[in-house]
Each structure stands twice: as C-alpha cells, then as structure tokens.
Amino acid sequence: MCNGGCPKDRFLKSKDGQNGQNYLCAGYSLFYEHIRPDIIGMARLIRSGHAASEIMDPRIRSRVRVGGALP
C-alpha cells in the first residue's frame, strides 16, 4: 500500500542494506497489518450493497472480518 513515501523521509537503510528507506515504513506496515481485516470487511459490505459504516456494529464487524455471512 506504500510506494516509498516522500523523498524527504527516505534516509534509512532498507533490510537489504540499500539507502533510501522511508523512516515511516515500519509504522505504516504495523498500521495496515492491524487495519487490514476491517478494510476487507468494509469492502465486503460495500460489494453486498451495504454502507461501509456498518462495520461499526460489533456484531456485523465480527461476521465480515472472519468471513461469516453478510448482514
């Protein structure tokens, strides 16, 4: 989901030793790993004709995040 970010933020070495790693990459990776199930759940809701905001209902959220039946 990230394309390297702003050039001004690329001053670390990457895991393979190359210059130009964005110093925010680690945080972005953690954030997107955490939010991914909800993004997938919102996409499932939208594809089935529901509002993405329905993810805020804990019962619906638990169903769409784990691959259960859509509301």
Give the whole-angstrom CA distance, residue 55 versus residue 69: 13
At 10-46, the pLDDT tens digits run: 777 777 887 777 777 778 888 988 999 999 999 999 9
At 45-55, the pLDDT tens digits run: 999 999 999 99
pLDDT above 80: residue 70: no
Residues 6+ apart with CB under 8 A from 69: 63
